Amino acid sequence: MHSRENPCCCSFDECKLTTEWLLSRTRHRPKIAVVCGSGLSLLAESVSNKQVFHYEDIPSFPVSTVPGHDGRLVFGYVKDKSCVFMQGRFHLYEGYSLCQGVYCMVSGPNFETIAEARMLHVLGSDSVGMSTVPEVTVAKHCGLHVLGLSLITNKVSLDYSREEKVNHEEVLQISKMRAEMLQKVLTTFIAHSHQVEGINSN
Ligand SMILES: O=P(O)(O)O[C@@H]1C[C@H](O)[C@@H](CO)O1
Ligand SMILES: Nc1nc2[nH]cnc2c(=O)[nH]1
């Protein structure tokens, strides 16, 4: 279970566990999800065929720590539409980090200097690479749906006194170590791609 003390969440295995736990306990298969803000739990109160799970009972699910966030997942129907409501959400100030971030691309082929890395950091970048952005830009331009998977292979030093030099050998070594895990992620995604609206898996 996640808490303020243990805020890290959302590894692939944890999400899988949470999903399987929920899927095995509810017949609802909502296409619409609503996240209720502070004091807005009422939004979920009038649903029919209601099924409620408390966040603390759901394996690997974060818990709400803010007043006005009830910490309940509510499945039910609004009109004839199956929906799920989160009565309570999570904020960065609670210590929760999102497993997503800003990917920034530089043209390379050199790695960033510490000064460049600091600049990217100040601009809001969480990760940096030398690819993906051009492909995604063109793919979006062509109207394609895009999923970008970036393997983070190394730390980028922001500190002149602790310069950890990156090199392509290290990048390749880590990629090799993680390739199998990535393959599983990709295979699972492709196997379920028909569930993603707009993706034709045939
Ligand atoms: O093709 P990717 O983005 O995996 O290649 C990275 C970026 C540089 O070409 C190189 C740095 O080690 O690997
Ligand atoms: N720009 C950039 N690309 C990378 N690709 C793999 N590691 C790195 C890195 O540290 N910086």
| Mean pLDDT, the chain, whole residue set | 85
Tell me the per-residue pLDDT of 1-11, one tens digit each, with 9 for 90 and over.
455 455 555 66
Give the mutation target among 107, 127, 168 for probing the ligand 1 site: most ligand atoms within 8 A of CB.
168
* 128 ligand 2 Cβ < 6 A: yes
Is residue 188 in some structural domain? yes
Is residue 163 in some structural domain? yes
Is residue 200 in some structural domain? no
- Report CA Rg, the chain: 21
pLDDT over threshold 80, residue 108: yes
Is residue 145 in some structural domain? yes
Whole-number percent of the chain with pLDDT over 70:
87
Which CATH number characterizes residue 16's domain? 3.40.50.1580
**181 compared with 202, residue with greater pLDDT:** 181
Give the residue numbers spanning the domain of 165: 12-195
**pLDDT at res. 2:** 54
User: How is residue 88 written in tokens?
Assistant: 């309570």
**Three-state secondary structure call for residue 72:** strand
Ligand nearest to the CA of 168: 1
Is residue 128 in some structural domain? yes
Atom of ligand 2 at shortest distance to CA of 131?
A: 3
pTM for the model: 0.61
* d(C-alpha 15, C-alpha 60), whole Å: 7
pLDDT over threshold 90, residue 24: yes
* d(C-alpha 137, C-alpha 145), whole Å: 11
* 151 ligand 1 Cβ < 6 A: no
Instruction: Measure Cα distances from 33 to 55, 129, 140 in Å.
Output: 16, 33, 25
Atom of ligand 2 at shortest distance to CA of 129?
A: 3
pLDDT over threshold 70, residue 161: yes
Give the mutation target among 155, 156, 171 for probing the ligand 1 site: most ligand atoms within 8 A of CB.
171
Is residue 5 in some structural domain? no
Is residue 202 in some structural domain? no
**pLDDT at res. 106:** 93
Helix ranges, 38-167 (H): 114-122, 133-141
Is residue 119 in some structural domain? yes
Tell me the per-residue pLDDT of 62-98, one tens digit each, with 9 for 90 and over.
888 888 889 999 999 989 889 999 998 887 678 776 6
**80 compared with 118, residue with greater pLDDT:** 118
* 175 ligand 1 Cβ < 6 A: no
**99 compared with 120, residue with greater pLDDT:** 120
pLDDT over threshold 90, residue 15: no
Q: Domain total for the chain?
A: 1
